[in-house]
Structures are given as structure tokens and as C-alpha cells.
Amino acid sequence: MNLLVKRSLVEQAVDQLRGRIAEGAWAVGQRLPTEPELAAELGISRNTVREAMRVLAFSGLVEIRQGDGSYLRTALDPLQAVQALSRCTAEQARETRHILEAEAIGLAALRRTEEDLEGLRQALRASGAHYHDDLDAYVECDMVFHQRLIDAAHNPALSELYRYFSGVVAATVQRNLSHVPRCQSVFDLHGQILEAIEQRDAERAKRLSRTLIES
């Protein structure tokens, strides 16, 4: 079987499984049928089922637990959300950051723990080491810092939303910092946000976050 045909079969299997999930064939958290059971039910090979499940796991629909089987993680396909985010304009991304990021950072200032602060300090030190040279390394470290800011709000829904949105943020940061030399004051805003969170100053943290978004 050539690769093109194999890929087509996997795509068909993915579509079939997504359809079953959308129809409510399984409840969220439920263990899915085994590979042999799904292969018999869908009329395809076990290898095709295995590849299809990997695709669903990558998109966040399914969780594969080694030695225990596959479980339905959500009935809403996160891939659709990711695709919608990838199509948003720079202005739409900016608006979303103001609504999601700045407000979450305000909550983080009120709810952060000492463990959160230590994680943020570590992430800021890591990103600071790359700010004026390796842009790819800086963006990777900066996304860790931003995710930890959101996580410090201790709201799982906000954290999960930001994980999907972080790709858009990373692209924005990459674009804004593509010029050299880079403005030190932009990086310094990160430290000021952390300081405001340490001081539990929610309004200052939000204000600084908005300034950073507009930088």
C-alpha cells in the first residue's frame, strides 16, 4: 500500500471516529473500545485505527494511557479552535490578549503562591539570557513565562485556553522582535509585571500587561 493511500485511509478513519464522538457514542472520560473492536466496527485494519487514534490524541480529543487503553478527553474538537486561532488577524490577536491575558494576570496577582513566584523567576531568568541574541530560544522561554503567569491565576479553564492561544502569542512576539537591536524596556516590562504580582497589586499587573501587549 503506498503512503498516499494509507494516509487517505487514516484520514477516513479519523473522520469516522470524530463523527462517532460528535454523535455522543462515548461519554467524556469513558474508555474507548479496543483497537481490534474499533477495527471490526469500522471495517478497517488495526494499524489504521492505531494511526487514527494518534491523530485524535495529538488534537486533544483522546488521551492514550499506555497499557490501559484510550479515553475520550473531550467531545469538542480542540483542533477546530486551533484552526480558528491560526486565522485571526494581528488586531484580533491583540484584542484577545487584552481580554484573556491581562485579566488572567490580574487574577494571578491575587492568587499566586510562592511556588508560582519561583517558577516565574526561573522562566524570566531563562528568557533574559536569550533576549538580545537567539530569538527562537527567547520566544520559547517567553512562552513558558507567559503560561506560568496565566497558570498563577489557578483557573484551569484560563490555563487551557491560553495553551491553545499561545501559538498566536508566540507568532506575535516573533514578529515584533524580529528587528535588532531589541528594546530593553520591552523586556523590562516582564520583570515589572512579576514585581506587581509579588506585591499582589492586581491593577498595576493588568496595566503593565496591557502596556506589554501594545509594545
Tell me the per-residue pLDDT of 152-202, one tens digit each, with 9 for 90 and over: 999 988 998 888 788 788 888 888 898 888 999 999 999 999 999 999 999
Rounded to two decimals, the pTM is: 0.65
pLDDT of residue 83: 63
Kindly state the cell numbers that stand for 27. 461519554
pLDDT of residue 4: 46
The Cα–Cα gap between 213 and 192 comes to: 14
Residue carrying C-alpha cell 485505527 = 49
Please report the domains of the chain, with CATH numbers, ordered by start residue: 3-75 (1.10.10.10), 88-214 (1.20.120.530)
Tell me the per-residue pLDDT of 34-65, one tens digit each, with 9 for 90 and over: 999 999 998 989 989 998 888 888 777 888 88
Identify residue 108 by its one-letter amino acid code.
A
Tell me the per-residue pLDDT of 107-162, one tens digit each, with 9 for 90 and over: 999 999 999 999 999 999 999 999 998 888 899 899 999 999 999 999 988 998 88
pLDDT of residue 77: 66
pLDDT of residue 57: 84
Contact 62, 73 (CB under 8 A): yes
Pinpoint the alpha helices (H) of the chain: 3-22, 35-42, 46-58, 78-86, 90-97, 103-111, 114-128, 135-151, 156-176, 184-198, 202-214
pLDDT of residue 207: 97
Tell me the per-residue pLDDT of 72-91, one tens digit each, with 9 for 90 and over: 988 776 666 666 666 778 89
For residue 33, give Cα distances in angstroms to 9, 42, 72, 87. Answer: 19, 11, 10, 35
Residue 61 gets which letter from DSSP?
Answer: S
CA angle, 63 as apex, 97 and 159 as ends, to 5°?
Answer: 20
Checking if the pLDDT of 2 tops 50, the result is no
Contacts of 18 (CB under 8 A, 6+ apart): 56, 61, 77
